[in-house]
Amino acid sequence: MNDNNYKWEYSRIGGVTRVNLRSGEDIAHLGELDQKLWTVLSCPTKGLEFDARTLELLDTDGDGKIRVPEIVAAAQWLTSVVKDKDLILKGETVFPLAQFNTENEEGAKLLDSARQILANLGLEKDEIALEDTLDSCKIFEKSAFNGDGIITAASTGDEELGKLIGIIIEKAGKAADRSGADGVTADNINKFYDDLAAYSAWQAAAESNEAVHPYGADTAAALAACEAVKDKVADYFMRCKLIAFNADAASVVDIDLAKIGAVSDQNLAGQAEEISKAPIARPCASGILPFAGINPAWKAAFDAVKALVLDKDFAGKDGITEEEWNATLAKFGPYTEWAAAKAGADVESLSLEEIRAILSADRKAELLALVDADKALEAEANGIDAVGKFMLLMRDFFKLLNNYVTFSQFYNRDPENRAIFEAGKLYIDQRCCDLCIRVENMGAHAGMAGLSGMFLIYCTCTSKAKAEKMNIVAVMTDGPVNNLRPGLNGVFYDCEGNDWDAVVTSIVDNPISVKQAFWGPYRKFANMISDKITKKAEEKDASGNALLAAKAEDGAAKQPMDPLKYASTFAIVGVAIGTVAGGLAAVVAAVKGLVWWKWFVIIAAILLVISGPACFIAWRKLRKRNLGPVLNANGWAVNSSVLVNILFGGTLTTVAKYPKVKMTDPFKKECHAGRWILGILIALIAAAAVLFLTGTISCPFCK
């Protein structure tokens, strides 16, 4: 980028020289502006008071940042498709069709697409509005095809084909059509027919092999019943083998009567779990599982096996051997293998007859042809989307430039047109902070933002109406700071006027004004003295209480007064008073004879020595306050200083001011005339003493 091919104009904004953007030609030549002269190099797409759709359109690489090349690309595209480039500066939501630049290929396409939108909406006018372009469902509501490669039941006049599309949506998934209706893509159609074919072939494999269903339609239920008791039956046969091996094992592997006895005093109907731990039947050396005499806890499960399997395979028998049981289980092998190979499960809810009827009709090619017909209008439909992009940029682009290339929107302080990074206003401690910024990470933000040189208040805000929380940082530029502390409550109003409960979480302390800096040393000294006095008083109070408690516990008698002790105390006080008096006498002697006005010079000099350095440091810091670090901490790449000097800073915070009116305070403490007279006499005596000590007047009684 360079600025040699275009003559730029500059102005001072916020104490910094910045380029002017005052015409559409300026915007058209942004690509020629040296990147070093841009106020911002990138900004985040989140946390801004700006239309998220516009930011998404500008963020072409989808990285969550809008960078200079993306701004330049948008500027070149936008200025190339309009005739009067100055219209971009107006930020309007209605655009005359005649202003599309038809000499530009994309401009001509935009005009055609804009007319198509108006036709779809049934509107006859020579201008298009932003609201006409944003509701794609309404635009394509009456269109059979809209270029998105998705077809709906409305895409065909064939009722049967429309019903088939509905079945595909249910069984193979759906996609949202531009019209807002549910539809299907080519992938959905192919999956549906693949599932139909696979499921039909899977069922055909079972039909051609009788071994797959040894128990007919009850095979699945029979297998489930056998699986439910399989482990228990295996356990039974092993117990029988142990008894056959050693008859003495019978008492060990049979039912444990002790366990049954342990719960026999309870309701046995509720002890099924404990009873189920016993063998499924009483084991015996013969190794035959009887059909009768089954453990009550297992009887229902075994009866299901008997009804579905044993009564068919062993009719008339009253028991089976282990070999017979294993042979029965083996009969399920082909079924298990076939079930594991199941395919096309998504269409299983259709009957086999329906599946084969759909396959037989074979309308897959017709459906795919509809998809192709829809895709044929893709360019036209994309053109309609481009009109929506165009209208959003016509409304928002210049506003973004005023927050990106320049910071004019921030410095203008228009309440109705704030900078895009401003979140609202904070009311707290009898003032309003007009500059508040949303913060994502409070801890990480304060470290960088502290370099701004500004007094910052971090707050957590809660909205009961929205059931949401957010963090903000407010810039304080006026008013006292004595009452500001973590935990202080305030009210935050966002840009939409919604109120939030705000609680101060932390403060970054920096000078607010030269006036506060002047009184700062005295305030600190007074606070130090106050703290020391309070600390000493608390220590004395604590020691006194402890002494009284000790005396009370010991029951000690009151000590007689020691005159020497009090005499020493009075002596110490006298020495202290004498020292102070001596110091005052030395000061008086040093300034004795000075003219009265020189006293004011001395006092002014003392004040200058004490407050001067603090005021000078505050003045320098106030002149260099910079919003850049606050924004950088939020993910911005600010390329230039965003100064908040003393004069401009005064506009960012307003302090409560009460009118001067005469009012009677019913709770005001009464002031008697005698007290006024006494005060005046004391003041006169003090003034006379000062004048006498300085030699200005002499004592009339000392002549």
Between residues 61 and 525, the one the model is more confident about: 61
On the 0-12 / 13-18 / 19+ scale of CB atoms within 10 A, 415 is exposed
pLDDT for residue 142: 67
pLDDT for residue 107: 95
Confidence of residue 550 (pLDDT cuts 50, 70, 90): confident
Token pair listed for 148? 């998105």
Token pair listed for 159? 């009722």
Residue 459, φ and ψ in degrees, nearest 5: -135, 145
Sign, CA torsion 517/521/526/527: positive
Which among 195, 215, 457 is positioned nearest to 335, based on CA atoms?
Answer: 215
Whether pLDDT at 376 is above 80: yes
pLDDT for residue 136: 73
Whether pLDDT at 539 is above 90: no
Task: Give the span between the Cα atoms of 459 and 360, in whole angstroms.
Answer: 69
- pLDDT tens per residue, range 5-16: 799 999 988 778
On the 0-12 / 13-18 / 19+ scale of CB atoms within 10 A, 126 is exposed
pLDDT for residue 274: 82
User: How much is the mean pLDDT over the chain?
Assistant: 84
Give, in order, the Cα–Cα distances in Å from 64 to each of 52, 394, 428, 633.
11, 22, 34, 16
**pTM, two decimal places:** 0.63
Whether pLDDT at 103 is above 80: yes
Which among 387, 383, 385 is positioned nearest to 94, based on CA atoms?
Answer: 387
DSSP string covering 49-96: SS-HHHHHHH-TT-SSEEEHHHHHHHHHHHHHSBS-GGGGGGT-SEEE
**Percent over 90 (pLDDT), the chain:** 56
Going by the DSSP 8-state scheme, the letter that residue 697 receives in this structure is S
Task: Give the span between the Cα atoms of 455 and 507, in whole angstroms.
Answer: 8
- pLDDT tens per residue, range 316-368: 899 999 999 999 999 999 999 999 999 999 999 999 999 999 999 999 999 99
pLDDT for residue 545: 73
pLDDT for residue 542: 75
pLDDT for residue 91: 94
Confidence of residue 554 (pLDDT cuts 50, 70, 90): low
Give, in order, the Cα–Cα distances in Å from 101 to each of 78, 112, 118, 422.
10, 12, 19, 36
Strands 431-439 and 653-655, bridge-based pairing: antiparallel
Going by the DSSP 8-state scheme, the letter that residue 270 receives in this structure is G
Whether pLDDT at 559 is above 90: no
Q: What is the mean pLDDT of residues 545-570?
A: 57
